Chain A
Amino acid sequence: MKMNGARILLESLKREGVDLVFGYPGGTVINIYDELMNVREIRHILPRHEQAGTHAADGYARASGKVGVAIATSGPGATNTITGVATAYMDSIPMVLITGQVPTPLIGNDAFQEVDIIGITRPITKHSFLIRHAKDIPAIVRKAFYIARSGRPGPVVIDFPKDVQISQAEFKWPETIDIRGYKPNLEGHPRQVEKAVQMLLASRKPVMYVGGGVILADAAPELTELARTLQTPVTTTLMGLGAFPESDPLSLRMLGMHGAYAANMAMTHADLILAVGARFDDRVTGKIATFAPHAKIIHIDVDPASIRKNVRVDLPIVGDTKDVLVKMVDEVKRQGDKLKELHANLAGWHEEVSGWQAKHPFSYKQSTTVIKPQYVIQKLRELSQDDAIMATDVGQHQMWTAQFFEFQKPRTLLTSGGLGTMGFGLPAAMGAQAALPGRQVICVCGDGGVQMNIQEMATLVQNRLPVKIVILNNNFLGMVRQWQELFFDKRYSQTCLEQPIDFVMLAEAYGAKGLRAEKPSDVEKVIKEGFAYNGPVIMEFKIAREEKVLPMVPAGASLNEMVLNA
């Protein structure tokens, strides 16, 4: 059957199982929006800014594991998505962004609302397509989704000129696709797996260092099984939080710049590091020259380019982390008595590790007069549902959430780890809530970042998305202020948000509920009331203004040179 290009796109999205898109109309996507009225299977949520639309698609993907889809018009609509695309790229989130483009004959003419969005997004996408003929749309959509979700996932842009949206073609869904330049290596080599297991059995001080790759591959159960079978302590990156239950005695908690003392000490003293779906980012390694000086390193990753990019690796295993971990669990289970031997050999290491854990757990000084942000996070954990999803912005509140929420399950923390995007939390929470209507979704942010996409309050209210927004308000851009306090002689250049905002009134202005806590005794009451309310809520907590995130590895220092009190 012949149909126009816009309809072919929507039919193709349906074939990919898309049931929800986040988009913003405009001149060069108006035909898609017109056809959307004829396609009931695809729900559409209208954010109030295209950046938020891409963050929402990203949050949808992180929470559900499916590919997030966003639509924007050409020119400014497309450029507004850049931060969202870059955020998804840095954290390897599967996303397809469809942008309108000026009609093909006008491309390159500096037409109204024309930008070379393929060129602009080239370094922040896994791949991109410009549609030239309507007949090509189904294959392009299929390839785009396949590329976005397979291997190391990432965002893909489809640029769609307006004239092609109008032109007619036959809709023919390709049964198979073949991309000759793209064959991700998903199966871990069995010999490498055997070698890895032998190295683990021979080790006396092993640590598993786990990143977001485990969550992306839905490999948390296999990872947990492997760690428990081997009795190996586990530390996770920020992106890996939830891949291993933090309540487990083997959990060393998060490592790195604001990581746990025990995690950083264990990395420094380990004789073997098993890195799984992690990429040795500078926030994790600290000074690279002194990173894990005694350890052999096994690195499992689906992306060969991640291996040996930042650190030397003794045994690389390229493959889907789930596939590799399944093979490792099988191999480990065949070891019989050797496993018992290993457990006996690790007794001393476990003792050393628990010593570090006991010496400096994540902690803070409670107050009876002023609300401590860490206390708010602890109360959120206590009062929220077990499988609640936490979205954050970037900064102090993000680190406090990582340190004090004790993540237990994968896909329960949505945070911009790689790009570090302020303004991510609220729209990401919106996307997660839209993906999983039955789940409790909480957004923790600061008074700085929340204002970067505060307009999405309207979207939450309009779509009845009951996101619980927690603002830890210190009237500061707190993380930068902390650096200025510690490293710049308390010269607080442009980090004080002096103009007070009444967030309760702001919530009400959007038709949401607003609550405020000003003293520690209010905290529990406000959270309970906010959680009980059937709709979006802003809960504002006036927190200790100069509270710092500790411990901290100063930039450029070694992991074991942590500032514990400052």
Chain B
Amino acid sequence: MQHTISVIVENEFGVLARVSGLFSGRGFNIDSLSVAPTMDESLSRITIVTRGDDAILEQITKQLNKLVDVIKVLDFSDDSAIEREMALIKVTAEDESRAEVLRIVDIFRAKIIDVTPKSYTIEATGAPAKINAILDLLRPLGLKELVRTGSVAIGRGAKGWKG
């Protein structure tokens, strides 16, 4: 089962290595990972999408909490969080497919951010499922390059982290 975990850490060199090393060393899976500073510049927030049963998730959370540089671990396993991801998608767009790409972009409220005679580059934002859906539609038209940021997540309402 897929889980999204937010890890609030000290914004220092080497911290990401401790976190990612913990996952590889203990055989935990990382589907995606993103890092950036928080409102408080001395802290960073790592969002990790991982997989495992309840026992594995419990171990991941506990092992993360053991790291001295980890301030807080938030496990967004249920619907307690909103999750978003951005994708930059370069897609073949020639002749008749140019209009079809534009229609898909419009339906998904994505944006064209670069145009050449043979391609469009699309910026799409949304829940990972939405990104997957637009990719499914664009794939038959000819995907040339794909960059995904991995998920970031924020707790709904009062849930989450202050900072």
Q: Do A and B form a real pair?
A: yes
Chain A interface (Cβ < 8 Å from any Cβ of B): 118-119, 122-123, 126-127, 130, 147, 179-182, 303-305, 308-309
Are B70 and A122 neighbours in the complex by a CB distance under 8 Å?
A: no
Chain A residues with CB under 8 A of B66: 303, 305
Q: Is the interface of B mostly helix, strand, loop or mixed?
A: helix
A325 vs chain B, min Cβ distance (A): 23
Q: Roughly how many angstroms separate A182 CA and B64 CA in the complex, as a whole number?
A: 11
- Give the A-B pair count, Cβ closer than 8 A: 34
CB contact between A123 and one of B9, B14, B21, B58 (< 8 Å): that residue: B21
The 10 nearest A-B residue pairs measured at CB? A305-B62, A127-B68, A182-B68, A181-B71, A123-B25, A304-B62, A181-B70, A122-B21, A305-B63, A181-B68
Chain A residues with CB under 8 A of B14: 118, 130
Most chain B Cβ neighbours within 10 Å, of A119, A180, A181, A308? A181
Are A305 and B59 neighbours in the complex by a CB distance under 8 Å?
A: yes
- A sample of 15 cross-chain residue pairs with beta-carbon separation below 8 angstroms, ordered by A number, consists of A126-B68, A127-B68, A130-B14, A147-B68, A179-B68, A181-B9, A181-B10, A181-B68, A181-B71, A182-B68, A303-B66, A305-B62, A305-B65, A308-B59, A309-B59
Are A181 and B67 neighbours in the complex by a CB distance under 8 Å?
A: yes
Residue of B nearest to A179 (CB): B68
Q: Roughly how many angstroms separate A305 CA and B62 CA in the complex, as a whole number?
A: 5
Most chain B Cβ neighbours within 10 Å, of A126, A304, A305, A308? A305
Within 8 A of A (CB), among B19-47: 21, 25
Q: Roughly how many angstroms separate A107 CA and B10 CA in the complex, as a whole number?
A: 22
Q: Roughly how many angstroms separate A122 CA and B20 CA in the complex, as a whole number?
A: 11
Chain B residues with CB under 8 A of A303: 66
Which of under 10, 10 to 19, 20 to 34, or 35 or more describes the interface residues of B?
Answer: 10 to 19
Chain B residues with CB under 8 A of A127: 68-69
Are B68 and A308 neighbours in the complex by a CB distance under 8 Å?
A: no
Are B17 and A304 neighbours in the complex by a CB distance under 8 Å?
A: no
Q: Roughly how many angstroms separate A134 CA and B156 CA in the complex, as a whole number?
A: 44
Q: Roughly how many angstroms separate A308 CA and B69 CA in the complex, as a whole number?
A: 23
Q: Roughly how many angstroms separate A126 CA and B67 CA in the complex, as a whole number?
A: 8
Residue of A nearest to B59 (CB): A309
Residue of B nearest to A132 (CB): B13
B38 vs chain A, min Cβ distance (A): 13
B72 vs chain A, min Cβ distance (A): 8
Chain A residues with CB under 8 A of B144: none
Are B55 and A119 neighbours in the complex by a CB distance under 8 Å?
A: no
Q: Roughly how many angstroms separate A123 CA and B23 CA in the complex, as a whole number?
A: 11
Chain B interface (Cβ < 8 Å from any Cβ of A): 9-10, 14, 17-18, 21, 25, 55, 58-59, 62-63, 65-71
Given known contacts A118-B14, A122-B17, A181-B70, A304 and B65 CB-to-CB distance under 8 angstroms? yes
Residue of A nearest to B21 (CB): A122
6 new A-B contacts, CB < 8 A, other than A181-B9, A304-B65, are: A122-B17, A122-B18, A179-B68, A181-B69, A308-B55, A308-B58
A287 vs chain B, min Cβ distance (A): 18
Q: Roughly how many angstroms separate A126 CA and B68 CA in the complex, as a whole number?
A: 8
Chain A residues with CB under 8 A of B9: 181
A328 vs chain B, min Cβ distance (A): 23
A308 vs chain B, min Cβ distance (A): 6
Q: Roughly how many angstroms separate A130 CA and B17 CA in the complex, as a whole number?
A: 14
Chain A residues with CB under 8 A of B59: 305, 308-309
B57 vs chain A, min Cβ distance (A): 11
Q: Roughly how many angstroms separate A351 CA and B59 CA in the complex, as a whole number?
A: 39
Residue of B nearest to A306 (CB): B62
A156 vs chain B, min Cβ distance (A): 9
Chain B residues with CB under 8 A of A122: 17-18, 21
Q: Roughly how many angstroms separate A452 CA and B65 CA in the complex, as a whole number?
A: 37
Chain A residues with CB under 8 A of B10: 181
Residue of B nearest to A303 (CB): B66
Chain B residues with CB under 8 A of A179: 68
Q: Roughly how many angstroms separate A127 CA and B18 CA in the complex, as a whole number?
A: 9
B120 vs chain A, min Cβ distance (A): 41
Chain A residues with CB under 8 A of B67: 181
Q: Roughly how many angstroms separate A314 CA and B18 CA in the complex, as a whole number?
A: 31
Given known contacts A304-B65, A305-B63, A309-B59, A180 and B18 CB-to-CB distance under 8 angstroms? no
Residue of A nearest to B9 (CB): A181
Q: Roughly how many angstroms separate A123 CA and B67 CA in the complex, as a whole number?
A: 11
Chain A residues with CB under 8 A of B25: 123
Chain B residues with CB under 8 A of A180: 71
Chain B residues with CB under 8 A of A130: 14
B26 vs chain A, min Cβ distance (A): 9
